[in-house]
Structure 1
Amino acid sequence: MQIFGVDIGGSGIKGAPVDLDKGDLAEERCKVLTPHPATPDGVADGVKQVVEHFGWTGPVGLTFPGVVTGGSTIRTAANVDKDWIDTDARALFSERLGGLPVTVVNDADAAGVAEMAFGAGQGRRGTVILLTFGTGIGSALFADGALVPNTELGHLELHGHDAEKRASSKAKEDNELTWEHWAHRVQKYLEHVEMLFSPELFIIGGGVSRKADRFLHFIEGIKAEIVPAQLQNNAGIVGAAMHAAKES
């Protein structure tokens, strides 16, 4: 069974048909740059471009980098335009895609669901936390396999700032940090999250998961196991498609 998944991020909008039996992309993904400012209309146009690239005419699952309530209403917009707040995202995207059935879910939650089903979290019980490091820091919290949605742990305060302002991969690039220096910031963040939630496992997702060998060995003193996401930066696309299949 195939469903189309789209992952909307602060820097890129990427999507592809997903083989839900394998938990992997059925075709090579298409990616377009997220417009700046990332307004609802601009992002919807980007999503349309990605979906039309494949000539897709079936259900579409989308992720969004913020809190999504009731399966449609956007409540936060830390790394996109503030006009998103209170937008009915499902109605917007469905209209732009010519009436196709659409579902919308938080981006990190989607990535976490995919990793728990097909990746690094398979079969893991207890408390598992996936953290996506990109333009911001997304989070997905699982208790014995059940998702606690919209946790937004990237906005925990760390040294007087939103954690993602210090420890996201964008912060690494903006401040021209070495992998080691950035890893020490990530370690401080993980120590804070571990103090609050005592997870058995941290899954590190986002684009940096492809480069785990560059920084994970610098992170010390964390009691939880720390592993890179196995689906890497495709986890959001797969999770978006899984959510669409569940809701359809």
Structure 2
Amino acid sequence: MAELEIPLAGGNATAEVVRVGDTVRKPVTHSSAAVTDFMSAMLAAGIDIPRPLGTDESGRLMLEFVPGAMAEDHEPDLDQLEAIGGLIRRIHDAALTYVPEPGAVWEAVIPPPGEPELICHNDLTPWNLVLGERMVFIDWDGAGPSTRAWDLAYSAQAFAGLHADADEAIGARRLSAIVDGYDPDDGLRRELPALLAVRAQAMHDMLADAYRHDRMPWARVYEEGHGAFWAAAAEWIRQREDVWRDALCR
């Protein structure tokens, strides 16, 4: 008897993802080989992530299912944010030792300004973090070349909740907690306040370009209102750069 397949909702870009028992099944893409190799390297370096389990009889990727609640549904407190910042730092440090296979193909859609320095997850956000007995980032499909600053700016903005409807004082405290947990050097700490708005704007620009060229699934995501969300977030963050600088560089 075939095992029950339970659709997993929540992602904007990954279709046909299901849970089967203690596994997740998803379609193979052109970047799956590179992503699986990177994930295996992260596991070998001691980073707790879903274990790749090969492919099933239908040719789908199999990954370990990690039980728990998504962070976006249970807003992490300041202590948890510090721990999350520390986890992101450990992921980046481990990734520095990883050398991709020649010709590796990646799915990363928003390249960083400047030269990439390591392979990043590129979406270390509340909608990809499982909280429970383990704290585990899932959905590594968008991994690719980036920089610490670009990856951290997106994570910090998302976990701090910096957007047009936010309370800036609460946002500043949350931003400080996750960045303090990451423990950046002085150069990265000084770079982040201005980069937060640049990274949010890049998200809008990617979605808008996809909409103009009817590139799915991002054109649909733009149409659903995410383009307007990111445009407003970028402007709101940009107007408060001094607030973020005070929080991070006090």
Provide the TM-score with structure 1 as the length reference. 0.34
Larger radius of gyration: 2
Provide the TM-score with structure 2 as the length reference. 0.33
Determine which structure has greater relative contact order: mean sequence separation of CA pairs < 8 Å that are 6+ residues apart, divided by chain length: 1
Q: Please identify which structure carries the higher strand content.
A: 1
